[in-house]
Structure 1
Amino acid sequence: MIADKKHFERFTMRQTGDTDPSTITLTTPTLADGAEVYRLISQCPPLDVNSQYCYHIICEHFSQTSVIARIDGDAAGFISGYTLPEHPDILFIWQVAVSAKARGRQLATRMLEHIICRKRATAVRFLHTTISPSNIPSQKLFSAIARTFKAPMREREFLAGEVFAEGHEAEVLYEIGPLQYSQ
């Protein structure tokens, strides 16, 4: 199952069985990471790209519920999230981005587990996210997380495609929890 959170502070791909010797570092983002995160998101379609200012704010204000992954110092992955103000036991994951060079290495899973284990101390029991119907990789990622944490997963309509000003798929809300942490 999930090791303690120190396991997720730093790991190498050799530890996960990957033959790539690159070192991956997972850390909380800082204000200075905003521009690099913006560039990373821009290179990860079909993600919606927000303003560069938005990513600076996310990296500063939501650093404790987000993570940046670096391979040899370069941004290779990013997850943004926040706890719901009215429900601090719910962690909402907003965006998951993995660069082309880091795909196929379970980086998204590692980053998500890193955030969840870090937030365990603050009593996060549920994980929510929205996923468009065509985003099969994200559906698989969150299904795997539900299995890892032995938690039920429910889906329900959140935003119909018609509510978006431009052509955009519907967004389905995935609700996972309660999360079962290993001891």
Structure 2
Amino acid sequence: MQHPRDLARTSIPNLRKPAAEDGPAIWDLVRACKPLDENSIYCNLLQCDHFADTCVVAELDGEVVGWISGYLTPNADDTLFVWQVAVSERARGLGLGVLMLQSLLNRDVCENVQRLQTTITADNAASWGMFRKFARIQGGTLDSEPHFLQSQHFEDRQKTENMVTIDLASERMERAA
């Protein structure tokens, strides 16, 4: 009998914009992907409804196995902020996070995006690895600095979030030329 993860390796994920009906499945996925912060189902519903153009759902055999929530920053529409990346255990090791990020950048709404930003805690090795791989594939540079501090912003309830910035400008300009 094949392990469910091996089955995922033989399937091609369907990457698409989310719909409001995806909210509960996304909420379940995020809850299963520790240490991600759990938002309310309502928050995920709003992300699917209001920010569908900058979010992506990955499905395998009709099951939601990947999710990225993001948005164009209000004061810099050339920056895509990635709020959360979740990949189910079934789909890990497939490079799905990088595929979802690339699919977002390929959308018309991200045509002017020159940088991608996200925040990552120092101990989240999986996220660091994925974003470093993405930067390398994109030919971009990755920089980071402490942004939301454990003591100052989280009152010691959560670890410091480092602002990660991937400069995509040179690679995207070359492709456009």
TM-score, length of structure 2 as denominator length:
0.88
Instruction: Decide which of 77, 100, 103 is 1:111's aligned counterpart.
Output: 100
Note the C-alpha offset of 1:39. 0.5
Deviation per residue, 1:96-147 (Å, 9 max, x gap)? 0000111111111111111112157531111000000000111111111111
Q: Look up the equivalent residue of 2:106 and give its one-letter code.
A: C
1:147 maps to 2:164: no
Across the aligned residues of Structure 1 and Structure 2, the Cα RMSD in angstroms comes to: 1.8
Q: Look up the equivalent residue of 1:171 and give its one-letter code.
A: E
Note the C-alpha offset of 1:160. 1.0
- Give the match's secondary structure for 1:20: helix
Deviation per residue, 1:36-73 (Å, 9 max, x gap)? 10000000000000000000000111111110000000
Instruction: Decide which of 50, 68, 73 is 2:57's aligned counterpart.
Output: 68
Alignment correspondent of 1:93: 82
Note the C-alpha offset of 1:167. 2.7
Gap change, CA 1:161 and 1:119, over 3 Å in 2: farther
Q: Look up the equivalent residue of 1:124 and give its one-letter code.
A: V
Gap change, CA 1:107 and 1:55, over 3 Å in 2: same
Alignment correspondent of 1:167: 157
- Give the match's secondary structure for 1:161: coil
**Larger displacement relative to structure 2 (149-158 or 56-65):** 149-158
| Alpha-carbon distance between aligned partners in 2 of 1:21 and 1:97, rounded to the nearest angstrom | 20
Note the C-alpha offset of 1:173. 0.3
- Between Structure 1 and Structure 2, how many residues are aligned? 166
Alignment correspondent of 1:47: 36
Work out whether residues 65 and 119 of structure 1, in 8 Å CA contact, stay in contact via their aligned partners in 2.
no
Q: Look up the equivalent residue of 1:69 and give its one-letter code.
A: A
Q: Look up the equivalent residue of 1:45 and give its one-letter code.
A: K
Structure 1 ranges of 4+ moved more than 6 A: none
| Alpha-carbon distance between aligned partners in 2 of 1:127 and 1:121, rounded to the nearest angstrom | 10
Work out whether residues 80 and 110 of structure 2, in 8 Å CA contact, stay in contact via their aligned partners in 1.
no
Gap change, CA 1:124 and 1:28, over 3 Å in 2: same
Alignment correspondent of 1:5: none
| Alpha-carbon distance between aligned partners in 2 of 1:112 and 1:122, rounded to the nearest angstrom | 14
Gap change, CA 1:109 and 1:121, over 3 Å in 2: closer
> Among the aligned pairs, what percent are the same residue?
34
Q: Look up the equivalent residue of 1:170 and give its one-letter code.
A: T
